[in-house]
Amino acid sequence: MDPRRNFQPGGYDSRNTFTSGSFGPPDFGESDEAELVSVSWNQDYSCFAAGTSHGFRIYNCEPFKETFRRELKDGGFKIVEMLFRSNILALVGGGPNSQYPSNKVLIWDDHQGRCISEFTFRSEIRAVKLRRDRIVVVLEHKIYVYNFMDLRLLHQIENMANPRGLCCLSHHMNTSVLACPGIRRGEVRVEHFGLNMVQIINAHDSNIACMTLTLDGLLLATASTKGTLIRIFNTMDGTRLQEVRRGVDRADIYSIALSPNVQWLAVSSDKGTVHIFSLRVRVIGEDAYSTEHETSSNSLQPLVSPASGANPGSSLSFLRGVLPKYFSSEWSFSQFHVPEVTQYFAAFGAQNTIAIIGLDGR
């Protein structure tokens, strides 16, 4: 890793919106029609970034509008990771004829209009995740965790082959949680950094395909490469709290999203359907934890409780334990149909709204 240039502590404000300014070298300007390379949500789903073959664009969700764009004449980015609505982005080159290598992360301050640091690795970068105090870089077999203020390397995490770059973070200031694939098939490793604790969860029999954490990091939702079941876990003790069924046929899961109130779960896949599930999980509010070090598995009990909008099940579910497990499954509460020709990623907006973005530009 080779950090470059000085990082200015406190040089950004997470409440600021993006500001315009020249992108600086290399030459950014008007380019030919751009090809969409990637789309990704910010941490609270209020914005999303689109990486293109000629730069990137940032969109606001409510109301929907393009906030700004940066155009390159030669190449673009396959990873554009936002930090809430701040002027800080992490960029990784990719797409047709990109002049930026795929093994280098650029930390870009759009307010200053310059790169404030960069990290170079020996292999391709699979993902970058940001929170206000951490930069996490995901390679296929290792994850690096850096302190945002001084770029100091804090942790290195070994994991099994992770070509999807699976990794998710908590975003409450009083919890510092990271979840990633473990070293065995179907295993999830949960790091509670503030508690200096590691929880290994045997989530599935097959490899992990998709995962997400609640903002406080106390609940984890996972799906495997089989794509039929989605499971919800307590990250403190690894307890499985709920299991819902997307379908019977194998599917490639593109995204899993939890609503801010942890009442709903959204899942998108290559079957052209976004499934919405009702969750039966009671979550203790953030105010219950004055510091993470006071947290214990006894005080963090996201217990399964009756839900007002229950998921439908089989009419034969009363024979649970006699018939195969399929007949006692919880199915989706609602579905949205999208084209099967491309990847779509779902998220929750304000007031129980759903936002879905696709790699076809819709």
Most confident residue range from 104-118, 205-219, 285-299: 205-219
Look at residues 86, 121, 156 and tell me which one is the last residue of a structural domain.
121
Residue 285 has pLDDT above 50, yes or no: no
Asked which of 80-84, 184-188, 237-241, 296-300 is least confident by mean pLDDT, the reply is 296-300
Whether 159 is covered by a domain: the verdict is no
Look up residue 233 and give its amino acid: F
User: Alpha carbon of 326 to those of 41, 211, 280, 317: distances in Å?
Assistant: 33, 22, 19, 9
Token output for 79: 């990873």
Higher per-residue confidence, 132 vs 17: 132
Please indicate, yes or no, whether residues 112 and 171 belong to a single structural domain of this protein.
no
Q: If you search the block for the tokens 């899942």, which residue do you land on?
A: 267
In the predicted model, what is the mean pLDDT of residues 199-227?
95
Compute the residue count for the chain.
Answer: 362
Asked which of 1-5, 112-116, 239-243, 348-352 is least confident by mean pLDDT, the reply is 1-5
Q: Is-contact 141 158, C-beta < 8 A?
A: yes
Alpha-carbon distance of 122 to 139, in angstroms, equals 9
Please indicate, yes or no, whether residues 47 and 173 belong to a single structural domain of this protein.
no
Please indicate, yes or no, whether residues 46 and 101 belong to a single structural domain of this protein.
yes
Residue 171 has pLDDT above 50, yes or no: yes
Alpha-carbon distance of 6 to 3, in angstroms, equals 9
Provide the pLDDT for residue 286: 42
Whether 248 is covered by a domain: the verdict is yes
Residue 209 has pLDDT above 90, yes or no: yes
User: Alpha carbon of 268 to those of 239, 247, 276, 292: distances in Å?
Assistant: 25, 12, 9, 33
Beta bridge partners of 60: 47, 65
Higher per-residue confidence, 347 vs 318: 347
Torsion of CA 273, 276, 277, 283, to 10 degrees: 140
Residue 207 has pLDDT above 90, yes or no: yes
Provide the pLDDT for residue 321: 54
Q: Is-contact 153 146, C-beta < 8 A?
A: yes
Please indicate, yes or no, whether residues 194 and 340 belong to a single structural domain of this protein.
yes
Q: Using a pLDDT cut of 90, give the percent of the chain over it.
A: 54
Whether 69 is covered by a domain: the verdict is yes
User: Concatenated DSSP letters for 112-155?
Assistant: TTEEEEEEE-SS---EEEEETTEEEEE-SSEEEEEETTT--EEE
Higher per-residue confidence, 60 vs 281: 60
292 phi and psi angles, rounded to 5 deg: -65, -30
Whether 55 is covered by a domain: the verdict is yes
**Domain count for the chain:** 2
Average confidence score pLDDT of the chain: 81
Q: Mark out the alpha helices in the chain (DSSP H runs).
A: none
Residue 34 has pLDDT above 60, yes or no: yes
Please indicate, yes or no, whether residues 209 and 348 belong to a single structural domain of this protein.
yes
Higher per-residue confidence, 287 vs 361: 361
What is the DSSP code (8-state) at residue 103? T
Residue 322 has pLDDT above 70, yes or no: no
Higher per-residue confidence, 95 vs 250: 250
Q: Which residues contact 318 (CB under 8 A, 6 or more apart)?
A: none
Whether 158 is covered by a domain: the verdict is no
Alpha-carbon distance of 106 to 246, in angstroms, equals 37
Residue 232 has pLDDT above 50, yes or no: yes
Alpha-carbon distance of 216 to 212, in angstroms, equals 11
Please indicate, yes or no, whether residues 207 and 356 belong to a single structural domain of this protein.
yes
Alpha-carbon distance of 228 to 65, in angstroms, equals 35
Look at residues 121, 154, 182 and tell me which one is the last residue of a structural domain.
121
**CATH code, domain carrying 352:** 2.130.10.10
Token output for 156: 């290195």
Look at residues 121, 139, 158 and tell me which one is the last residue of a structural domain.
121
Provide the pLDDT for residue 309: 56
Residue 16 has pLDDT above 60, yes or no: no
Residue 293 has pLDDT above 90, yes or no: no
Token output for 72: 């390159």
Please indicate, yes or no, whether residues 230 and 345 belong to a single structural domain of this protein.
yes
Please indicate, yes or no, whether residues 81 and 173 belong to a single structural domain of this protein.
no
Please indicate, yes or no, whether residues 116 and 172 belong to a single structural domain of this protein.
no
Q: CA nearest 268: which of 258, 256, 259?
A: 256
Q: Cα 331 to the chain's mean position, in Å? A: 24
What is the DSSP code (8-state) at residue 17? P
Please indicate, yes or no, whether residues 203 and 346 belong to a single structural domain of this protein.
yes
Residue 7 has pLDDT above 70, yes or no: no
Whether 274 is covered by a domain: the verdict is yes
Provide the pLDDT for residue 311: 53
Domain with 209 in it = 166-283+305-361
Residue 98 has pLDDT above 60, yes or no: yes
Whether 87 is covered by a domain: the verdict is yes
Whether 128 is covered by a domain: the verdict is no
Please indicate, yes or no, whether residues 333 and 221 belong to a single structural domain of this protein.
yes
Residue 138 has pLDDT above 90, yes or no: yes
Beta bridge partners of 199: 190
Residue 78 has pLDDT above 90, yes or no: yes
Please indicate, yes or no, whether residues 321 and 173 belong to a single structural domain of this protein.
yes
Query: Residue 310: pLDDT band by 50, 70, 90 thresholds?
Result: low
Alpha-carbon distance of 282 to 270, in angstroms, equals 31
Higher per-residue confidence, 41 vs 285: 41
